[in-house]
């Protein structure tokens, strides 16, 4: 397993244990970068207008279209570091 993959997995575990709520904007960024790193570009139909939460997630992930998995993992680790540092 690569060093980046280990850092990514450690960061995703640390985010789940964060004591302080990072806020919705940060949660969306974390979600989008995690999905981009693990699944690649956004897939499926865009959720309906009334499904606010899933639509926001879909759109956040869609903004990262074309970003490679290593870049997404690196960005996720940096975001997670900010979240856990603020605890």
Ramachandran assignment for 23, one of left (phi > 0), alpha (psi -120 to 50 degrees), beta (any other): left
- pTM, to two decimals: 0.93
- Any idea which fold 3-85 has? Acyl-CoA Binding Protein (1.20.80)
Q: Is 48 helix (H, G, I), strand (E, B) or coil?
A: coil
Using one digit for the tens of pLDDT, what is the confidence trace for 3-38?
999 999 999 999 999 999 999 999 999 999 999 999
pLDDT at 87 over 90: no
Using one digit for the tens of pLDDT, what is the confidence trace for 30-73?
999 999 999 999 999 999 999 999 999 999 999 999 999 999 99
Residue 67 DSSP code? -
């Amino acid at each position: 397993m690569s060093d980046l993959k280990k850092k990514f997995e450690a960061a995703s575990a640390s985010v789940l244990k964060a004591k302080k709520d990072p806020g919705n904007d940060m949660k969306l960024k974390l979600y989008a970068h995690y999905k981009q790193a693990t699944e690649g570009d956004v897939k499926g139909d865009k959720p309906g207008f009334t499904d606010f939460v899933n639509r926001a997630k879909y759109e956040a992930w869609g903004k990262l279209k074309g970003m490679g998995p290593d870049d997404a993992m690196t960005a996720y680790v940096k975001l997670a570091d900010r979240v856990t540092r603020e605890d």
